[in-house]
Amino acid sequence: MSKYPLIFALLFLSFSIFTSRAETEKPNIVMILADDLGWADTTLYGHTSLYETPNIERLAKRGMTFSHAYSASPLCSPTRSSILTGLHPARTGLTTPNCHLPQVVLKATPGAKGNAGNKSVGPNGVSRLDTKYDTLAERLKSVGYATGHFGKWHLGKEPYSPLEHGFDVDIPHWAGPGPAGSFVAPWKFPDFDPDTPKEHIEDRMAKEASDWMAANKEKPFFLNYWMFSVHAPFDAKPELIEKYRPKIDPQDPQRSPTYAAMIESMDDAVGTLLDTLDDLGATDKTIIIFFSDNGGNMYNEVDGTTPTSNDPLRGGKASMYEGGVRVPMIASWPGEIKPDSKNDAVVQSCDFYPTLLQMLELDPGEGQEFDGISILPAFKGGDLSREAIFTYFPHDPPVPDWVPPSVTVHRGDWKLFRLFFQGEDGEHRYQLFNLAEDIGETKNLAEEKPELVAELDALIDAFLIETKAVLPIPNPSFDPSKYRPEQEGKNRERTNKPAPKAKPIEQTVGGWKARQSVGILKEGVLTLEGNAKAPFLGVGATVAEKPGITFRVRTKNGGAGKIEFISKGGEAKNTPFTLSGSDWQEISLKVPAKNSTGILRIYLPAEKKAVEIDWIELKSDGKVPRRWEFN
């Protein structure tokens, strides 16, 4: 036998071992992106006395906390796209969080006309993250990284899901804007069921992410953990809500026990990831970035108040003021980033991609350019060479502290707003703030400093030209008699709409929707009152073999009802039942479907008299029962 095949085999083995070792020497990357977490929602900056975030503090002790970190947009999907591409939403045209809508739009276009009371019309943005962009996940995968996405996506379903953007796995593979139905099980993800009754989705996501890290510990990995927390719907573990209830100060603008409980579950998930890295012995070779996609929510309502407050910052989610775009941020890299350090450098979400490439000593792809810069010098305690950052949000959703379609430039202590076509005779209007002296953006200095306005506005011009942004246009339908400038900054949704008599049922009971009826929760019982013919409750459901449903119900008059299952293909099958006009009774029925995903409906005789429901339980062989308790 020749000795040469043996030599070649040994050389090949040596090369394989060297390659394997080289791969394991690359640092792991863990990106933790919270959803709607405001700058004042953690204990990092000393502006909350209610929320508890010990695990985020634990991460901060390991790394560097940034006080002037900014999302690329005051809304989620544009910021998410900037993280993965290193490109500004102005360039990609992805400027609104509409990626869950059915229409696929890949090119931004100018608007046509708007409401007669508006001076400008914003563009029509794209609705998917186009696969033409070379994402961070694709770049890392090309050099041997395992890539996993866990949690919220909101950049489009197939063929624009994480699996088409460079990720090996995507759990729970959900394209919606928030968790499916609720945070606490039962959920309504199409193909993702809880392991235990009343499981919290963030507990489950952290477990799935931890298991994935353990399975890939022998090679470098990129974990993209984009939390569902603390986005709507606003629900949490009941025991945590009760924990915070006695701690509420009615005079504190942060006074929702439900939101405080959601913050704690989010922080627990961060702790789970840190524990897993410690247990794997991977902490010292892992880069961790903690960030939020935009500021805290100041326009929804929970527990009779707004979810949170971004005080001392002005505004919140969907607002271009600081409360909508300044977010918490931590960067950790043991041995490279000084532990328990602080940094006031101005950084933005589109900086992460070029920064991570420099940290890994990787070049961009061929022809690839970034709108962000590498902020590695800041990680090392040095200065950044960038002159300014920009935020482009050519829309005006009806939230507190909204402004018309606008763009901002932030240079040093100064921040300039350009409000497109909002001045006299079709000119732009400006707001100028000194953030060092006026963090709440209360004093507009634009008229006092016209030369500075012109200087900063020239930077805006250059930015919009460089990114080829599709811009707002003057509204051809503008009617001065209908212009109401005094409404600018006010929550039009709250001021112009009467309060609903009852909340939509999906906001309070884990995904069940009341149709042709109103659902009212009181003292642990759901009361269904019909306001049209054939009232029913509906929920998305996946059933396996021998599915069955049981519910506890009471009605004075009795009457006929039915269970209906509508498959994805549109086929509807029914099982009838009859209620007696008596005390509480349990109705148990077979669901007329098996091994199918679709819509489950319970039609109840509630046209004239109310029907009360105590609980509902759905069972399938081999699956954990889904149970809804109305409390």
By residue range, what is the domain housing residue 605? 505-629
Asked whether residue 120 is assigned to any structural domain, the reply reads no
319 plus 262 within the same structural domain: yes
310 plus 328 within the same structural domain: yes
The pLDDT score that the predictor gives to residue 93 is 98
- CA distances 230 to 50, 244, 474, Å, are 15, 16, 37
617 plus 486 within the same structural domain: no
Top-confidence residue, 540 or 415: 415
- CA distances 133 to 83, 166, 226, 403, Å, are 12, 11, 20, 31
Which of 64, 70, 72, 29 lies closest to 44 in space, CA to CA? Answer: 64
Amino acid present at 513: K
How much is the average pLDDT of 282-307?
Answer: 96
Assign 236 to helix, strand or coil: coil
Q: Which residue has the tokens 């624009």?
A: 160
Mean pLDDT of the chain: 90
Query: pLDDT digits over 562-577, tens only?
Result: 999 888 767 788 899 8
Residue 363 is classified by DSSP as P
Stated pTM of the model: 0.77
DSSP lists the bridge partners of residue 288 as: 30, 332
Asked whether residue 157 is assigned to any structural domain, the reply reads yes
Asked whether residue 115 is assigned to any structural domain, the reply reads no
Top-confidence residue, 532 or 524: 532
The pLDDT score that the predictor gives to residue 631 is 58
201 plus 334 within the same structural domain: yes
Of 431, 461, 496, the position where a domain reaches its end is 496
490 plus 534 within the same structural domain: no
The pLDDT score that the predictor gives to residue 16 is 44
Interstrand relation of 525-530 and 536-543 (parallel, antiparallel or unpaired): unpaired
How much is the average pLDDT of 236-253?
Answer: 96
How far is Cα 277 from Cα 290, in angstroms, rounded to an integer? 15
Query: Is 573 buried (19+), middle (13-18) or exposed (0-12) by CB count in 10 A?
Result: middle
Helices (H), 444-508: 450-467, 492-496
Query: Is 232 buried (19+), middle (13-18) or exposed (0-12) by CB count in 10 A?
Result: middle
Asked whether residue 588 is assigned to any structural domain, the reply reads yes
- CA distances 17 to 10, 14, 169, 214, Å, are 10, 5, 26, 21
491 plus 354 within the same structural domain: no
Query: pLDDT digits over 309-348, tens only?
Result: 999 999 999 999 999 999 999 999 999 999 999 999 999 9
Asked whether residue 602 is assigned to any structural domain, the reply reads yes
The number of distinct structural domains making up the chain is: 3
Least confident of 138-142, 403-407, 581-585, 609-613: 581-585
132 plus 216 within the same structural domain: yes
Whether the predicted pLDDT of 270 surpasses 50:
yes
Question: Between the CA atoms of 321, 322, 326 and 328, what dihedral angle is there, to the nearest 10 degrees?
Answer: -130
How much is the average pLDDT of 216-241?
Answer: 97
Percent of the chain with pLDDT over 70: 92
The pLDDT score that the predictor gives to residue 4 is 43
Least confident of 286-290, 532-536, 563-567: 532-536
How far is Cα 214 from Cα 208, in angstroms, rounded to an integer? 10
CATH of the domain at 402: 3.30.1120.10
Per-residue pLDDT band at 64 (split at 50, 70, 90): very high
143 plus 180 within the same structural domain: yes
Whether the predicted pLDDT of 24 surpasses 60:
no
Of 496, 521, 555, the position where a domain reaches its end is 496
Residue 116 is classified by DSSP as T
Amino acid present at 31: M
How much is the average pLDDT of 596-616?
Answer: 85
Tell me the range of 321-325, 486-490, 531-535 where mean pLDDT is highest: 321-325
Structure tokens at 4: 């040469």
Query: pLDDT digits over 90-107, tens only?
Result: 999 999 999 999 999 999
Top-confidence residue, 553 or 504: 553
Q: Classify each residue of 332-365 as buried b or exposed e, where b means 16 or more C-beta atoms within 10 Å of its C-beta.
A: bbeeebeeeeebebbbbbbbbbbbbbbbbeeeee
Percent of the chain with pLDDT over 90: 71
306 plus 429 within the same structural domain: no
CATH of the domain at 540: 2.60.120.260
Query: pLDDT digits over 176-213, tens only?
Result: 999 998 999 999 998 899 999 999 999 999 999 999 99
418 plus 303 within the same structural domain: no
Q: Are the C-beta atoms of 442 and 432 separated by less than 8 Å?
A: no
Q: Are the C-beta atoms of 121 and 208 separated by less than 8 Å?
A: no
Per-residue pLDDT band at 622 (split at 50, 70, 90): low
Whether the predicted pLDDT of 20 surpasses 60:
no
The pLDDT score that the predictor gives to residue 31 is 98
Least confident of 52-56, 273-277, 364-368: 364-368
422 plus 327 within the same structural domain: no
The pLDDT score that the predictor gives to residue 492 is 58
The pLDDT score that the predictor gives to residue 500 is 41
478 plus 537 within the same structural domain: no
Top-confidence residue, 599 or 446: 446
Of 448, 466, 496, the position where a domain reaches its end is 496
